[in-house]
């Protein structure tokens, strides 16, 4: 073969000459390769110049102009039940989600103290390595029994339970359909997963059905995500229709019972009990321990294969310290007391229904609330909501405003959390007060808008 024959448009001799020339070139210093040095503005290295920080300061300034006390991070003096103390002043309290009043129960406190005495205040390691303690397993067994599932797993944070579970189970070949009123943790978990995401109008099953018909079949696994009791509106998910659509379109279903467990159903066992559906009809049951069960963290309940998978693959579980044993023991005791004392749940139901019925008699807009533990009073714009909060606080009633962007502008509200500890007098006092202050706040809000 002719050695000088061209290969890929270049002869062998040409190729050798080119390589020799390249070897003889002097390397170019890195600073010479830069065409221009970028100037980094000092503001980019400061937190107080970030637009988001500036927005917070603007909101504080507006609050001061409106004559508002600090709305957030109020320092309570002690135990917050139907009453609480802030800076030595007593308030009728509608800002806690200790729905069954178990947080201050001496039996819960004693269970926590006994566990702390035996195991200390920290698990001191991830449960995967050296952080496993008997109270963890006992709590998970109690949750599995409560949810009527094969197994359960407890995380140290409720928010990260949702984020990590969705992120771990789904990927870019999958699709997630979530209710538009789903909690931030569910939306964030869906986003982090890399799966395709579609939001459907709150409890609009026709909207969901159309989305499923159009998009579900372009992906491998699909899951529908909803809350059991929506925390901003106080309405239940349409579980029977969700189960129909899950079956029709070949999907998984996840129900977040953060605000429905301990609240909904005759014994407080959640939407499963309320709607009378078998537990295995739902693939992933999620809940928190920081509300009815007066502890901290979240749980996932379902098939053993699900929880075992999460125990080895879920980042927020594997790479987080185990829940403090004392917290696990406290939540376990709270579950026991809820089931042993169903009158707490019955009293909560009566209180929620009374609040909604009285509010409607006064012409107040309670939105979609079904009278369980969450009752919003829709005020309209955000300024009006804040003014209502302040006037209620002046009267010794604590109920917080929910404003944009937590809810869309025009749907701002004052949200009341109802508990079994509230008396009929408490509820009548609160409803009468909001009915009186709302018209005044609306007039004031108009003057600020001019």
Considering the candidates 259, 332, 349, 411, report the single residue annotated as catalytic: 259
Mark whether 183 is an active-site residue.
no
| Residues 295 and 157 sit within 8 Å (Cβ to Cβ) | no
Mark whether 231 is an active-site residue.
yes
Give the span between the Cα atoms of 84 and 75, in whole angstroms: 10
Considering the candidates 159, 291, 411, 422, report the single residue annotated as catalytic: 291
Q: What does DSSP say about strands 400-402 and 412-417: parallel, antiparallel, or unpaired?
A: antiparallel
| Residues 236 and 189 sit within 8 Å (Cβ to Cβ) | no
Considering the candidates 231, 314, 373, 419, report the single residue annotated as catalytic: 231
Give the span between the Cα atoms of 189 and 181, in whole angstroms: 14
| Residues 208 and 245 sit within 8 Å (Cβ to Cβ) | yes
Give the number of other CB atoms < 10 A from CB of residue 27. Answer: 6
Active-site annotation, residues: 231, 259, 291
């Amino acid at each position: 073969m002719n050695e000088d024959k061209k290969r890929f448009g270049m002869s062998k001799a040409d190729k050798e000459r080119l390589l020799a020339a390249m070897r003889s070139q002097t390397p170019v210093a890195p600073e010479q390769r830069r065409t221009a040095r970028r100037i980094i503005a000092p503001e980019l290295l400061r937190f107080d110049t970030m637009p988001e920080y500036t927005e917070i300061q603007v909101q504080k300034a507006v609050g001061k102009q409106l004559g508002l006390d600090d709305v957030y991070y109020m320092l309570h003096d002690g135990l917050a039940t139907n009453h609480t103390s802030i800076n030595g002043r007593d308030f009728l309290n509608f800002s806690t989600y200790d729905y069954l009043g178990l947080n201050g129960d001496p039996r819960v406190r004693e269970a926590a103290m006994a566990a702390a005495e035996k195991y200390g205040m920290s698990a001191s390691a991830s449960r995967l390595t050296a952080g496993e303690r008997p109270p963890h397993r006992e709590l998970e067994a109690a949750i599995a029994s409560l949810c009527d599932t094969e197994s359960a797993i407890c995380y140290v944070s409720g928010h990260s339970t949702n984020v990590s579970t969705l992120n771990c189970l789904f990927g870019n070949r999958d699709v997630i359909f979530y209710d538009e009123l789903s909690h931030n943790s569910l939306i964030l978990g869906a986003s982090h997963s890399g799966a395709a995401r579609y939001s459907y109008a709150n409890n609009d099953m026709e909207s969901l059905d159309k989305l499923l018909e159009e998009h579900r079949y372009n992906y491998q696994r699909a899951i529908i995500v909803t809350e059991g009791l929506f925390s901003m509106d106080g309405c239940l998910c349409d579980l029977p229709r969700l189960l129909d659509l899950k079956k029709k379109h070949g999907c998984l279903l996840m129900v977040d019972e953060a605000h429905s467990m301990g609240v909904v159903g005759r014994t407080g066992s959640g939407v499963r009990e309320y709607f009378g559906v078998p537990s295995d009809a739902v693939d992933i049951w999620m809940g928190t321990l920081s509300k009815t069960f007066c502890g901290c963290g979240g749980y996932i309940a379902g098939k053993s294969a699900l929880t075992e998978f999460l125990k080895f693959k879920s980042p927020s579980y594997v790479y987080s310290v185990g829940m403090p044993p004392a917290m696990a023991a406290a939540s376990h005791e709270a579950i026991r007391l809820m089931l042993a004392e169903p009158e707490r749940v019955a009293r909560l139901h009566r209180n929620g229904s009374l609040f909604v019925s009285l509010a409607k008699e006064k012409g107040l807009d309670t939105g979609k609330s079904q009278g369980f533990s969450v009752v919003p009073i829709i005020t309209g714009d955000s300024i009006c909501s804040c003014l209502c909060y302040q006037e209620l606080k002046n009267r010794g009633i604590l109920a917080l405003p929910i404003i944009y962007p937590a809810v869309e502008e025009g749907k701002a509200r004052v949200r009341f959390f109802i508990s079994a500890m509230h008396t009929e007098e408490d509820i009548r006092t609160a409803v009468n007060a909001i009915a009186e202050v709302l018209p005044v706040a609306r007039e004031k809000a108009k003057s600020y808008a001019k």
